[in-house]
Amino acid sequence: MPTSLIVLAVLGLGVWFWFDSMQAREQAVSGARSYCRRHEVQFLDDTVALGWLGLRRRGGMLQFLRVYSFEYTTFGDTRRHGVVAVFGRQLLQIRLES
């Protein structure tokens, strides 16, 4: 196999991974924002940060499990932490610290 095909395949996988990661991140932001609104807390900075990335099997297929952290506040003075997990493209879990 020529080197140029290998380089092209690696670049293609990199672009796919980046695109998949951006979609998962948007899913996490949207889920965290909605969850905070339902629980009457303020979602801070309108962003999430990737804290963990791994592979898990579902129905015989490997999919990425991404765990993001975010910050929220209840009264506007203290930042608290939350976690949102995205499995593939599906929100798996959202937690606020107690």
Summarised one tens digit per residue, pLDDT across range 9-48 is 999 999 999 999 999 999 999 999 999 999 999 999 999 9
Question: How far is it, in rounded angstroms, from Cα 36 to Cα 43?
Answer: 6
Number of structural domains the chain divides into: 1
Question: How far is it, in rounded angstroms, from Cα 58 to Cα 80?
Answer: 32
Which string of DSSP letters, residue by residue, matches the chain?
--HHHHHHHHHHHHHHHHHHHHHHHHHHHHHHHHHHHHTT-EEPTT--EEEEEEEEEETTEEEEEEEEEEEEESSSS--EEEEEEEETTEEEEEEE--
Q: Whole domain around residue 33: which residue ranges?
A: 3-96
**pTM, to two decimals:** 0.88
